[in-house]
Amino acid sequence: MFETVLVPTDFSKYSQKVLECVGGLPGVKKVVLLNVIGPADPQARGRDPEARLKEAKKKLADQANLIEAQGLEVKQRAEPMLGDIFWKIQEVSDQEGVDLVVMGPRGKGFVQNIFLGSVTKNVLRYGDKHLLLMRYKMLEGGDDLEEFRSPITSKVLCPTDFSGPSDEAISFVKGIKGVREAVLFHVVSSGESQEHVDAKTKEATRKLNAVKEEFEKAGIKTSVRIGVGSPAEEIIKAAEDENVSLVAMSSHGKGWKKQLIVGSVAFEVSKNGTRPVLVLRAGKAS
C-alpha cells in the first residue's frame, strides 16, 4: 500500500515522534529519511558547510537506528536547501519513488496550537504525493506528545461528497490492511429549504449505506453519519465526536481540476483539525 515512505526531519520533537510510529503504517518496507540543511545562522561563527553536513549526518544516523529497530529499511539523505525546502522534498520524493510523505504539522519552534508550519503547508498545497499529516495530543505541561490512538488505522473517518476523487479515496481506505472500523461521512452544505435539506440527507444516507455494505463485506465495522453545514467544520467536529484515529480524504472533491494545489476542504481540515489526516491525491488513489 505504502511501501516506500519519505519522512522529512528537522530533528525536532514532532519529527522524532513521527519516526516512532512510522513502522506501524500498513505495508511500509522502506523509509527515506531526509534532512534539508538550511542556510547557516549569520551570527553563528564557525558554522562551515562541512561541519553542518557532518552534524546532520550524525543526527540522521541516530534517527535511522530508531527506524531500523522497527524492522524497516532506511535510506538517509542530507541535502542542502536550494530555494524553498518544499522543492527539495518534492525532488527527493520523485527520485526515490516514494508512495507517501509523512510529516508533523510543525517543526522546530512549534507552539501549542493547531496550525500548520510553512513547510508542511507547502507540501500539502503543492505536493503530488499522498501525505500523512501526523498530529499528537500535547500532554499537560507542554513537554511531551501522545498519540490519539494506536495503531493509526484503528478507526478511520472517511468524508465523501460522492465525487470521483472521493470514491477513489473511499475505495483506497477499504483496501488498507489493518482498518478495523470506518465512519462514512457526508456533509449537506446547501439547501433552499428544510425539505430540500431533508431530501439531500435521505439520498446521502442511501448512498452511504450502499458503501457501508461493501466495507462490511471486507470485514470492516462501519457506521454512517451525516452532517449539515460547512464541510471542513463538520468533518473536524465528526472526527472529535467519533474519537477517530485518522481522517482519510481526497485532496479534491466535486469540480476539481487536475492541478497540484489542494482543494479548500482538504486544506482546511488539515490546517485546523486536531486528528491525523491522510490526504490522498486525486487521480493517484488507485
User: Which tens digit of pLDDT belongs to each residue from 2-54?
Assistant: 899 999 998 888 788 888 888 888 889 999 999 998 765 444 445 567 888 88
- Which ranges of the chain would DSSP assign to H, the alpha helix? 13-21, 49-68, 85-96, 118-126, 164-174, 194-217, 231-241, 264-272
Can you give the pLDDT at residue 253? 81
Largest CA distance in the chain: 71
Each residue's pLDDT tens digit, 273-286: 989 999 999 877 55
The yes-or-no verdict on residue 109 having pLDDT over 60 is no
How many Cα neighbours within 13 Å face the side chain of 50?
Answer: 0
Query: Does residue 184 contact residue 224 with C-beta atoms inside 8 Å?
Result: yes
Q: DSSP code of 3? A: -
113 Cβ neighbours under 8 A, 6+ residues apart: none
Can you give the pLDDT at residue 135? 84
* Spans of all domains in the chain: 4-145, 155-276
Worst-scoring range by mean pLDDT, 156-160, 247-251, 264-268?
Answer: 264-268
Which residues pair with residue 224 across a beta bridge? 184
Can you give the pLDDT at residue 117? 78
Query: Does residue 227 contact residue 187 with C-beta atoms inside 8 Å?
Result: yes
Which residues pair with residue 158 across a beta bridge? 184
All three cell numbers of 158: 472517511
All three cell numbers of 10: 528537522
pTM of this prediction? Answer: 0.88
Q: Is the dihedral of CA 250, 275, 150, 16 positive or negative?
A: positive
Side chain identity at 4, as an amino acid letter?
T
Nearest Cα residue to 123 out of 262, 218, 16: 262
- CATH 3.40.50.620 for the 155-276 domain, yes or no: yes
**Under CATH, what is the fold of the domain 4-145?**
Rossmann fold (3.40.50)
**Average pLDDT for residues 74-82, to the nearest whole number?**
90
Can you give the pLDDT at residue 194? 92
Q: Judge if 4-145 and 155-276 fold alike in CATH terms.
A: yes
